[in-house]
Amino acid sequence: MYATEFLDLPPMHAAAGTVQLPGSKSISNRLLLLAGLCQGQTVLHDLLDSDDTRVMIAALRQLGCAIEPRQDGGLRVTGLGGRLAVKQGQLFLGNAGTAMRPLCAALAVLSAREGGSFEVSGVARMHERPIGDLVDALRGLGCRIDYLGHEGYPPLRLAGGNVHIGAQIRVRGDVSSQFLTALLLALPLVSDHGAVVIEVEGELISKPYIEITLNLLQRFGIQVERNGWRRFTVPAGSVYRSPGQVHVEGDASSASYFVALGALAAQPEAPLRIEGVGADSIQGDIRFVEAAEAMGAQVKRGPNWLEVSRGRWPLRALDLDCNHIPDAAMTLAVMALYADGPTTLRNIASWRVKETDRIAAMAAELRKLGAEVREGDDFIEVHPLSAWQPAAIKTYDDHRVAMCFSLAAFNPLAGASVPVRILDPKCVAKTFPDYFETLFGCARAHVDDIPVITIDGPTASGKGTLASEVAKALGYHLLDSGSLYRATALAALRQSVPADDEEGVARLATALSLRFDDHRIELDGQDVTEELRREDVGLLASRVSAHARVRDALRELQLSFRRLPGLVADGRDMGTVIFPQAALKVFLTASAATRAERRHKQLISKGFSANISDLRQDLEARDARDRSRSAAPMKPAEDAVSLDNSALSIEESVQQVLAWWKQRQPF
Ligand SMILES: Nc1ncnc2c1ncn2[C@@H]1O[C@H](COP(=O)(O)OP(=O)(O)O)[C@@H](O)[C@H]1O
Ligand SMILES: Nc1ccn([C@H]2C[C@H](O)[C@@H](COP(=O)(O)OP(=O)(O)O)O2)c(=O)n1
């Protein structure tokens, strides 16, 4: 996950390969609740691991459910058997509507029957998302529920009551279908004295989500009778029965970004394959595929996979009632930028009460890209874009805003070439923590469009430290090019190849078997991270790196680190030889005395013995050799900025480089 302040997406122009979708959020949280309420154990496979499911799991654990991961990756839930194991508590449900509404309903009826008292709250935005219609329905059933903040909104206290069934329960269906889902999931708990009938008032929105609820209830042995979309009956004596094992299908809303990507950027002979959902999906958002087809996507489908490529280009503009695909429809608003006329998405009033006011958010951010947008209470009209502007997209703590705007980075397909900045990219953790990694796994950019920052300079100037911090702040890959020369030197030491045998050392460099994994380096399958830092290895690296053939042998490997979304590379010749087009080149220096001191501290802290004056002598000798060799000598590139950090802290150096970087960005 990118936990950076922002993530810059370079212009991208193609997509190919296979995408494995994370589990469906809607199915995961419903299954967790059903498994938590029923008797006995249920094993859930392929469950989504995200903020919203973590919130649900934490709440169920607090209520006394045992939830344990299994060796095979499944999660074993031991249910409460329809009774309260814990009679009171305070539950925090973040911004997860799929946890807030159904848990409130279940706890309200259980508290009323068994005398419980629970306080339920969430993040600030959750306290702006309406719940009054659900509370009214539950009060109608005899549950006592108090508002702890504003009338009609969480936080709530579920404080007992006296359940009387017999009277029909009424619930509004035109604000959020989650109210009805919440009741359907909870009311089997009170069906022991008779059937429970729910009447829906107003036009029920998002019907497909109700179908998921009914489908999953059925898997837990509860057969709800449905009369049209107005009347639902939970039969008398309904009891949740564990199906034993359940598999969660991939998230159809998450699939929408990749279906759209295929329609924009995948060639018919190499379609983008999406695994996890397909023709057999029970999720309503799978119908996004039809909308994408209407815009021009070419789609092949199997039971649990899709293959998507570009058909019509530019995409065909749409005028569509999106009530059946409220979440995935946001993706259409960004696809509309690539269409042949204005696209209108209608019947989307529910966008206004989601993670943020999504109509307002989409309109504001699309305009930043340069688009003409009209918005109303329940529609949005988006015009195609020809003059794309680089934009910093605000994401409003809304995962879907972040994910759908990533598609705007494919603007080279519409004749532009501008980067897109996504602010607070970690908001995708709500449903798809690895969204951007997955995107970069299948998206293609021209190599020249992938940004590089180079940091060159003498030994112990702090290049490695600075490069690593800058890469972390930007979410970029890191190339410690010195480690490649050090690994070559270590290989030469181990195989007794003399440092002056240029041919022999170059052969070793060509055949290096290196693996980089989260700041660890393996040589021939063995972790050599610490060994590479030895001073004798550094000195030998300086000697072998003077050979032109050794440098040539390591060139391709270094270039291969330039991958989406960007790279920070440190060494001696990053800015002069390997990445001469880098957008920012830093030449980092510090006085020899300061560097000797730093290296001394660093070695002592790692348990190596060292003497400052020897170190200083060695590093000066090494600088002299690195500077005077004929092959790629260490020197500042002509367009490099110099930074002497003798008197700067690490943090100050990092901030300086980030400030230079920001100055060079178009946002
Ligand atoms: N600006 C700085 N101020 C103080 N110490 C620093 C600074 N930059 C780096 N150091 C420290 O100096 C040592 C050498 O830094 P390193 O990044 O390994 O240098 P290089 O990669 O240039 O050889 C490390 O222990 C690091 O924490
Ligand atoms: N891009 C590079 C990186 C390192 N080298 C050589 C020269 C250096 O003395 C050795 C070791 O580099 P490294 O960056 O690991 O050394 P320091 O951490 O600065 O001591 O490799 C090089 O020639 N070109």
Q: Is the CB of 653 under 6 A from ligand 1?
A: yes
- Tens of pLDDT, residue by residue over 59-114, are 999 999 999 999 999 999 999 999 999 999 999 999 999 999 999 999 999 999 99
Q: Where are the beta strands (DSSP E) in 93-249?
A: 117-121, 143-147, 156-161, 169-172, 196-201, 225-227, 231-234, 245-247
- Dihedral-angle region of residue 316 (phi above 0 means left; psi in -120 to 50 means alpha; beta otherwise): beta
Residue nearest to atom 24 of ligand 2 (CA): 572
- Count the neighbouring beta carbons within 10 Å of the beta carbon of residue 104: 26
- Tens of pLDDT, residue by residue over 484-504, are 999 999 999 999 999 999 999
What DSSP character marks residue 577? I
User: Is 457 annotated as belonging to a binding site?
Assistant: yes
CA of 595 to the centre of ligand 1 (A): 8
Q: Is the CB of 463 under 6 A from ligand 1?
A: yes
User: Is 465 annotated as belonging to a binding site?
Assistant: yes
Angle subtended by helix axes 288-295 and 252-265, to nearest 10: 10
ipTM for this model: 0.96
Which of 367-371, 394-398, 627-631 shows the lowest per-residue confidence on average (mean pLDDT)? Answer: 627-631
Residue nearest to atom 15 of ligand 1 (CA): 462
How much is the pTM?
0.91
- In the chain, what percentage of residues exceed pLDDT 70? 100
What DSSP character marks residue 23? B
Q: What is the pLDDT of residue 490?
A: 97
Our CA angle for 174, 179, 182, nearest 5°, is 155
The structure tokens listed for 137 are 């329905």
Handedness of CA 609, 613, 616, 618 (dihedral sign): negative
> Which residue among 454, 455, 470, 598 is best mutated to probe the pocket of ligand 1, counting the most ligand atoms within 8 A of its Cβ?
598
CA of 13 to the centre of ligand 2 (A): 35
Q: Give the confidence band of 519 by pLDDT, cuts at 50, 70, 90.
A: confident
The structure tokens listed for 195 are 């059937």
Residue nearest to atom 15 of ligand 2 (CA): 482
**pLDDT above 70: residue 317:** yes
Going by C-alpha positions, the residue among 479, 460, 613 that lies closest to residue 542 is 460
Q: What is the pLDDT of residue 344?
A: 98
Residue 644 is among the residues annotated as catalytic for this protein = no
CA of 578 to the centre of ligand 2 (A): 14
d(CA 521, CA 514) in angstroms, rounded, equals 7
Q: What is the pLDDT of residue 84?
A: 97
Residue nearest to atom 10 of ligand 1 (CA): 462
The structure tokens listed for 190 are 């009170």
Cα torsion at 391, 396, 397, 403 (round to 10°)? -40
Q: What is the pLDDT of residue 205?
A: 85
Q: Can you tell me the mean pLDDT for 146-157?
A: 98
Going by C-alpha positions, the residue among 423, 401, 391, 419 that lies closest to residue 6 is 423
CA of 491 to the centre of ligand 1 (A): 26
Closest ligand, as measured to the CA of 489: 2
Domains 6-22+257-446 and 82-238 share a fold: yes
Is 200:174 a contact under the CB 8 Å cutoff? no
- Tens of pLDDT, residue by residue over 172-227, are 988 888 999 999 999 999 999 899 999 999 988 888 889 999 999 999 999 999 99
Q: What is the pLDDT of residue 353?
A: 87
Q: Is the CB of 605 under 6 A from ligand 1?
A: no
- Tens of pLDDT, residue by residue over 345-390, are 999 999 998 889 999 999 999 999 999 999 999 999 999 999 999 9
d(CA 355, CA 217) in angstroms, rounded, equals 26
Separation in Å, CA 557 to CA 394, 448, 465, 640, 654: 36, 17, 21, 23, 26
Residues 6+ apart with CB under 8 A from 62: 86, 89, 91
Give bridge partners of residue 20 from the DSSP assignment: 275
> Which residue among 545, 600, 629, 635 is best mutated to probe the pocket of ligand 2, counting the most ligand atoms within 8 A of its Cβ?
545
Give bridge partners of residue 18 from the DSSP assignment: 273
H/E stretch holding 526 reads: strand 526-527
Q: Is the CB of 483 under 6 A from ligand 1?
A: no
Going by C-alpha positions, the residue among 266, 256, 321 that lies closest to residue 289 is 256
Our CA angle for 18, 74, 440, nearest 5°, is 25
Q: What is the mean pLDDT of the chain?
A: 95
The count of residues in the chain is 667
Q: What's the half-sphere exposure (Cβ side, CA atoms, 13 Å) at 457?
A: 26
Is 384:338 a contact under the CB 8 Å cutoff? yes
- Count the neighbouring beta carbons within 10 Å of the beta carbon of residue 376: 12
- Count the neighbouring beta carbons within 10 Å of the beta carbon of residue 642: 11
H/E stretch holding 536 reads: helix 535-544
Q: Which one of the listed residues 285, 327, 398, 456 is annotated catalytic?
A: 327
Closest ligand, as measured to the CA of 483: 2
The structure tokens listed for 455 are 């940091």
Residues 6+ apart with CB under 8 A from 607: none
Please tell me the CATH superfamily of domain 82-238, with its number. Enolpyruvate transferase domain (3.65.10.10)
User: Is 389 annotated as belonging to a binding site?
Assistant: no
Closest ligand, as measured to the CA of 463: 1
Which residue is listed with tokens 């995200």?
Answer: 50
- Tens of pLDDT, residue by residue over 236-276, are 999 999 999 999 999 999 999 999 999 999 999 999 999 99
Domain boundaries, the chain: 6-22+257-446, 82-238, 450-663
337 residue type, one letter: L
d(CA 118, CA 87) in angstroms, rounded, equals 8
Going by C-alpha positions, the residue among 218, 207, 139 that lies closest to residue 178 is 207
Please tell me the CATH superfamily of domain 6-22+257-446, with its number. Enolpyruvate transferase domain (3.65.10.10)
Is 545:485 a contact under the CB 8 Å cutoff? yes
Q: What is the DSSP string of 334-403?
A: HHGGGBSS-EEEES-GGGGGSSS-HHHHHHHHHHHTT--EEE-SSEEEE---SS---EEE--TT-HHHHH
The class that CATH gives domain 450-663 is alpha beta
User: Is 254 annotated as belonging to a binding site?
Assistant: no
Q: What is the DSSP string of 245-292?
A: EEEPPBPHHHHHHHHHHHHHH--TTSPEEEES--TT---GGGGHHHHH
User: Is 458 annotated as belonging to a binding site?
Assistant: yes
Q: Give the confidence band of 167 by pLDDT, cuts at 50, 70, 90.
A: low
CA of 449 to the centre of ligand 2 (A): 27
Closest ligand, as measured to the CA of 602: 1
310 residue type, one letter: R
CA of 663 to the centre of ligand 1 (A): 25
> Which residue among 454, 465, 466, 570 is best mutated to probe the pocket of ligand 1, counting the most ligand atoms within 8 A of its Cβ?
465
Q: What is the pLDDT of residue 329?
A: 97
Is residue 53 packed enough to be buried (19+ CB in 10 Å), middle (13-18) or exposed (0-12)? buried
Residue nearest to atom 14 of ligand 2 (CA): 482
Is residue 377 packed enough to be buried (19+ CB in 10 Å), middle (13-18) or exposed (0-12)? exposed
271 residue type, one letter: P
d(CA 349, CA 335) in angstroms, rounded, equals 20
Ligand 1, closest atom to CA 465?
Answer: 17
Task: Return the SS3 of 504.
Answer: helix
Ligand 1, closest atom to CA 482?
Answer: 21
Q: What is the pLDDT of residue 334?
A: 98
CA of 540 to the centre of ligand 2 (A): 10
